[in-house]
Structure 1
Amino acid sequence: MSLPYSFKLTLQSILRERWIYLLSMLTISSGLAFTAITLLLVYNIDSATRKLPEKFSVMIYLKDTATEDERNAIIAAAQKDRIVAHTIFIPKEQALKELKSTLKDSAFILEGLGDNPLPDSIEVRFKSESVEPEAVQRFMGTLKDLKGIQETEYGEQFLSAVHSLRRGLRTVGLTIAIVMSIGMLFVCYSTVKILFYRKEEEIETYKLLGATRGFIRLPFLLEGAVIGFAGGLFSLAEVLGLYYLLVVSLGTTFPLLRLIAFPIDLVSLIPLSGLLIGMTGALLAIGRIKY
């Protein structure tokens, strides 16, 4: 069957069964819109939590008796690790000055302490892509046998909580995407199957005229593609409309909404996902029909 003729049959079928097509398109559109909004939410929360560890650091407090050689050995050992971006030595005098600056009007409480109670310290900063709980714990293990260290400090619970949140969100997003995809596949599958049985007499005529299986199947495959792609376009319009409402219209009243990012890839991903779902559902339907 020539492709133009298949398109002609598909268009005739859409016009004849427009209410079935419209219902299927709207169902797929709703499913894709819900999935896209969920993934958009996951994407934005994941992006925000990814930025949290950028200022994450480990503080190494030195003993008062620590020598310059011991201090240099600690810095050298830290800088050897591939996850370390850089180290900063903070003398106790600088630490006290920064503490007074932080306390501001309450700095007078330090006056009665006499000598500087703060120790020299080394701040270790990590590469942003390497701030993983396991990697940081491994790094902390390399410091145990070094001399001159009095204490180490880092936000272990904070780091673990951030990464647990990111993993949980990704799992939820993936689960919703899979469940909704299965549901939309079933819609396309059922629609194409219904359309097939509504054309049984027409198909029997084609068979008597010697039509091949490909001749009969191609229009149904195109119908599934049209249902899915049109549903994807409707879905994209819904998502863009909601994004415009939140960011542009309500963004002036709630500035926090302006931080919501919209990945440009979604503009093509949503319709193409609908197209793939529609064609897959149609293939499953016509593959299981005996004729």
Structure 2
Amino acid sequence: MYILYSFRLAFQSLWREKWINLLSVLTIAAGLFMITLTFFVVYNIDLATKKLPARFSVMLYLNDGLSEQETGDVIALVKKNNAVEQTRYITKDKALQELKGVLKNADYILEGLGENPLPASIEIKLKKESVNIESVKKFAADIKKIKGIAEVEYGEQFLNSIHSIKGMAEAGSLSLIIVMSAGVIFVCYSAIKIAFYRRKEEIETFKLLGATRGFIRAPFVIEGSVLGISGGIASAAAAFAFYYVLFYKVTAAIPILKILVFPLETFPALLLCSLLIGIGGAVIALGRIRFS
């Protein structure tokens, strides 16, 4: 009976102040939707950087004139490095053939070169845990000391840019999520505080009748929960609409966007977070109100 009565009081209060509460729900939904979009961006950046090791390679260009034995010795020394996952030796002729394949119809620019100007090389795939700025730099410095290697190329600027973008995105998104979460909690806090003071006379009557603090607070906690979960449902609907438009409409015009991923686990997590935020806002509001 006590629980049912608390729910009845909570829903009566929500309906009595329906327009204010609707505005609160929409504000909460907007904040949670922004958090969801931020998570979506960071999730895809993180996913892209995790795929980097599979596509990242280091190229070792060998000195001209190395014998077959010397080339084999260089490859053996490279393979001994703990960071190396696999190697691929590319002869001068193979390098020229691959270049022609890249140029396709423009391969006529290679005509008249005479002797093949491309060096033999070794393409190296590093282990996943070794694909980071510090490890790659150390690997390049160590490998360059091997006799017979003329140059080491690994796209230092590209690697630095990727890790810088990831770092800035994570820092920026964390700040935004904290600010937006605080804003959403404040909306719940304000809504419950207003509801409390509007029902002050009713609460005074309950106190005179000997009602406990738990009995008085329960409807407000339920109100906060309802506001939070309602905002969560609205933001989840907006997120689903965003997901549908992006993956079923926009990608038809911009196919490259098909590489983006929207984790469907976001939806239940969003609803749970909205419920906890609603309860949290209500608890904070009630904790700052004097009942005496």
How many angstroms does 1:285 deviate by? 0.6
Q: In 1, Cα distance between the equivalents of 2:146 and 2:255?
A: 49
Alignment match, 1:2: 2
Q: In 2, Cα distance between the equivalents of 1:250 and 1:146?
A: 50
Alignment match, 1:19: 19
Judging changes above 3 Å, is the alpha-carbon distance between structure 1 residues 134 and 208 closer, same or farther for their aligned structure 2 residues?
same
Between 1:217-226 and 1:30-39, the stretch displaced more is: 30-39
Alignment match, 1:101: 101
Judging changes above 3 Å, is the alpha-carbon distance between structure 1 residues 217 and 138 closer, same or farther for their aligned structure 2 residues?
same
Gaps of 5+ in 2: none
For residues 34-86 of structure 1, the C-alpha deviation after alignment (integer angstroms, 9 at most, x for no partner) is 22123223333443455456322111111234455554444344334444321
For residues 113-148 of structure 1, the C-alpha deviation after alignment (integer angstroms, 9 at most, x for no partner) is 433333221110124564221221121122133211
User: SS where residue 281 of structure 2 aligns?
Assistant: helix
Q: Give TM-score, length-normalised by structure 2.
A: 0.88
User: SS where residue 177 of structure 1 aligns?
Assistant: helix
Judging changes above 3 Å, is the alpha-carbon distance between structure 1 residues 33 and 101 closer, same or farther for their aligned structure 2 residues?
closer
Q: Give TM-score, length-normalised by structure 1.
A: 0.89
**1:1-291 equivalences in 2 (<5 Å):** 2-48=2-48, 50-51=50-51, 54-68=54-68, 70-128=70-128, 130-291=130-291
Percent of aligned positions that are identical: 51
Between 1:218-227 and 1:98-107, the stretch displaced more is: 98-107
How many angstroms does 1:274 deviate by? 1.1
Q: In 1, Cα distance between the equivalents of 2:171 and 2:31?
A: 18
For residues 209-257 of structure 1, the C-alpha deviation after alignment (integer angstroms, 9 at most, x for no partner) is 2222212112211111111011100111112123323333444444445
User: SS where residue 261 of structure 2 aligns?
Assistant: coil
For residues 86-135 of structure 1, the C-alpha deviation after alignment (integer angstroms, 9 at most, x for no partner) is 11111222222223333445545545443333322111012456422122
User: SS where residue 86 of structure 1 aligns?
Assistant: strand
Judging changes above 3 Å, is the alpha-carbon distance between structure 1 residues 268 and 114 closer, same or farther for their aligned structure 2 residues?
same
Between 1:165-174 and 1:241-250, the stretch displaced more is: 241-250
Between 1:184-193 and 1:76-85, the stretch displaced more is: 76-85
CA RMSD of aligned residues (A): 2.4
Q: In 1, Cα distance between the equivalents of 2:3 and 2:88?
A: 68
Q: In 1, Cα distance between the equivalents of 2:30 and 2:172?
A: 19
Gaps of 5+ in 1: none
Q: In 1, Cα distance between the equivalents of 2:248 and 2:145?
A: 56
Judging changes above 3 Å, is the alpha-carbon distance between structure 1 residues 105 and 217 closer, same or farther for their aligned structure 2 residues?
closer
